[in-house]
Homo-oligomer: A and B are copies of this chain.
Amino acid sequence: MRRGFGSDNHSGISPEIMEAIASANVEHALAYGDDEYCKHAEELFKEVFGPTARVYFVFNGTGANVLNIDAMCRSHHAVVCADTAHINVDECGAPQRIVGSRLLTVATPDGKLTPALVKTQLHGFGFEHHSQPRAISITQPTELGTLYTLDEIRALADLAHAHNMYLHMDGARLANAAVALGCSFKAMTTDCGVDCLSFGGTKNGMLMGESAVMLNPALDVDLKYRRKQMAQLCSKMRFMAAQFDAYLTTGVWQRNAAHSNRMAQMLYQSLKEVPEAEVMYPVKANSVFVKLPNKVWNALLEDYFFYLWDEATDVVRWMCSFDTTEEDIHNLVEALKKRLKAYNA
């Protein structure tokens, strides 16, 4: 398939990751995480996120999010999140089915929760008829490509802790956020009071590998059983650990994320010459949301695969990846211009 802008998981595997898999493909290793690769990767996560970090490798982002929710909540608890959150709209109800919890969703202008928005959901504590608010979940960068600053994260963590709640961060694209903010993973998570984290690599060059990382040791209870029971325990886990090892130690996370961020910026800049294309949100990471005339994006779908983000408002999402090229950006903008020209004719 032609390289496009559908999703950063449409791209393949970074060479560094492939090499790591090949290197781990020697002799035997204990299964289910009891091998040396996993032990080494677990240590690495402690280096990266701080000594309290305890990582649970899982298969995909939904698995990571659900294991994190399960660590924070029982079924009578509730999670406050943006109504655009992946856990709310893109997991086909996995949190409800597997954990049984309610999500308390909040409309946001830009995909970001604020203390004021969260507070609208913080009531009914102690009242048995209401699901009890127990966690706040944010996505960094958000599903709309926006970013929380460190202060904003810290404020939400403080709010959570003041109410005996936890703060979860969905970091399926955390590398893009770290590059954009110019900070370490730890600065954005542990140091801000995040209690648990979904940390992903698949969208940034890994074959497959996500993780639920407990930063607050109080959450690390019985999770090995919970992961297994959710069917998220990988047998040949050494190959997941080896990927994460390469991801974190070769600099590939940073190179890849920096590149895809830069491509998104280039696309954003190029769109300034296209007045009919309205960029909807600040472009902070590797996605660009653009409002286009209905017929134009429909026609453009013949040139490229991408997702219509909001049918009601004709907003489309263009996602840049670690292997997006400057030429790709150039070609997309040219194709758009051609479609607009035909439309305006």
A interface residues with partner B (beta carbon < 8 Å): 1-4, 6-7, 9-13, 18, 21-22, 24-32, 35-36, 58-63, 66, 74-76, 78, 89-94, 96-98, 100-102, 105, 123, 128-132, 202-203, 207-208, 222, 224-236, 239, 305, 311, 321, 323
Contact = CB atoms under 8 A, between A and B. Distances in A.
Query: DSSP class of A's interface residues: helix, strand, loop or mixed?
Result: loop
Given A27-B1, A129-B92, A236-B207, A63 B231 contact: yes
Nearest to A33: B128
Contacts of A132: 225
A305 B30 CA distance: 9
5 contacts: A1-B29, A75-B93, A75-B229, A96-B102, A97-B100
B91 A228 contact: yes
B1 A25 contact: no
Contacts of A62: 228, 231, 233
Given A25-B13, A35-B1, A222-B76, A231 B230 contact: yes
B12 A30 contact: no
Contact of A229 (B1, B3, B94, B226): B94
A96 B74 CA distance: 12
Contacts of A25: 12-13, 18
Given A2-B27, A12-B26, A94-B228, 18 more contacts: A6-B30, A7-B31, A9-B236, A10-B29, A13-B25, A13-B239, A18-B22, A59-B59, A59-B234, A74-B226, A75-B226, A76-B92, A92-B130, A93-B100, A97-B98, A203-B235, A208-B235, A208-B239
